[in-house]
Amino acid sequence: MKKDGLLAYFKGQQVPLADAKVSVLTHAFLYGTAVFEGIRGYRSAAGGDVLIFRLREHYQRLERSCRILDMQPTHDVDSLCRLTVELVRANRFQEDIYIRPIAYKSAERIGVHLSEETEVVIVTVPFGKYLEDEKPISLGVSSWRRTEDNAIPGRAKVNGSYVNLALAASEARGAGFDEAILLNEDGHVSEAAGMNLFLVRDGRLITPGVSANLLEGVTRDSIRTLAVEELGVKVEERQVDRTELYVADEAFLVGTAAQVAPVGSIDRRVLGDGKPGPITARLKDLYGRVVRGQVSKYASWNTRVAG
């Protein structure tokens, strides 16, 4: 990843990324007390501009994450959107990018309780593919359970909670799978490590409901809208059994980084013929065009930063 010459927003101003540093005594470093977002910017299909995908929705979620962590946001959603656009413009990107805003507990002291001080940092970096290749991915059901809402809530994008997902993702790779699927303590399906899940059964989309300890994904919402509005496909949001994973006609993961990732097998049961199914393929293609500004009906999802 190229880091030289990049600017970050840190302590109220744009600074070289190399200078955006915090003390090892920072509360967020000691205890994981920070909330963050992952946002993508795409070079528009027409060239020149960067299109930031659903910028406002990401900052609205950051605000909700702050509320759950009882953090007083230092900036409102409008200011964060403006600061991000200014930062992307200042970095003069020629490629697809990833934006990582973090609101963190900045007090420098030992002691786990939360105090008032909060800072916001925004980092933007060039970003290509997240998953290794284009072939359908293999999933393994993790032995690690998704953290419960009353322990570390998945609804908030809290930095420290990613320990749960890191354990699951590493276990999956060690066992020869590409990605992990986490179950809740009650044995029902939650989400993947950094991605939400959709299944296709009998022409309908199925995705675990918001009470399944998952992050309420922006891509999940976008895909649901596109499926209903553009493909006329019904979407069921409900509890999903583990064994429904094995009997699905199609499955795919969605997330800002992974976009739409077709699943070829789950716990070594091959889905269909192991290739992306028809509904998955259509949604992947449509999503790819929407994020690059090629579908005018969804132009309001793209924040344009002139190149």
Residues that are catalytic: 157
Give the shortest CB-37-to-ligand PMP separation in angstroms.
7
- Choose among 141, 103, 126: nearest CA to 245: 141
Q: Which x/- pattern over 119-158 shows residues binding ligand PMP (rule: CB under 6 A)?
A: ----------------------------------------
What letter represents residue 31's amino acid? Y
Give the shortest CB-219-to-ligand PMP separation in angstroms.
3
Q: Which of 101, 136, 208, 255 forms a contact with ligand PMP (CB under 6 A)?
A: 255
Tokens, residue 68: 């759950």
Examine residue 213 and tell whether it contacts ligand PMP (CB under 6 A). Answer: no
Give the shortest CB-52-to-ligand PMP separation in angstroms.
13
Q: Which of 38, 160, 272, 278 forms a contact with ligand PMP (CB under 6 A)?
A: 38
With vertex at residue 261, the alpha carbon angle to CA 258 and CA 266, rounded to the nearest 5 degrees, is 120
Which range touches ligand PMP (CB under 6 A), out of 75-83, 85-93, 253-261, 291-299?
Answer: 253-261
Beta strands in 106-210 (DSSP E): 118-126, 137-145, 179-183, 189-192, 196-201, 204-207
Cα 23 from Cα 106, distance rounded (Å): 9
Cβ of 202: how many Cβ atoms within 10 Å?
A: 7
219 versus 303: smaller Cβ distance to ligand PMP: 219
For ligand PMP, the binding residues in 60-79 under the rule CB under 6 A are none
Q: Which of 256, 265, 280, 302 forms a contact with ligand PMP (CB under 6 A)?
A: 256
Chain CA centroid to CA 91, Å? 22
Q: Which of 195, 199, 226, 271 forms a contact with ligand PMP (CB under 6 A)?
A: 195
Tokens, residue 11: 């302590």
What letter represents residue 58's amino acid? H
The alpha-carbon radius of gyration of the chain (Å, integer) is 19
Going by their DSSP bridges, the two strands 204-207 and 235-237 should be labelled as parallel
Count of residues in contact with ligand PMP, rule CB under 6 A: 15
* Contact in structure between 213 and 174 (CB atoms under 8 Å): no
**Which residues are CB-neighbours of 192 under 8 A, at least 6 positions away?**
139, 179, 180, 181, 182, 253, 255
Examine residue 219 and tell whether it contacts ligand PMP (CB under 6 A). Answer: yes
Q: Which of 119, 178, 179, 191 forms a contact with ligand PMP (CB under 6 A)?
A: 191
Examine residue 44 and tell whether it contacts ligand PMP (CB under 6 A). Answer: no
**Which residues are CB-neighbours of 160 under 8 A, at least 6 positions away?**
31, 32, 33, 34, 152
Examine residue 184 and tell whether it contacts ligand PMP (CB under 6 A). Answer: no
Give the shortest CB-258-to-ligand PMP separation in angstroms.
8
Q: Which of 41, 73, 217, 276 forms a contact with ligand PMP (CB under 6 A)?
A: 217
120 versus 214: smaller Cβ distance to ligand PMP: 214
Q: Which positions touch ligand PMP (CB under 6 A)?
A: 38, 165, 191, 194-196, 214-215, 217-220, 254-256
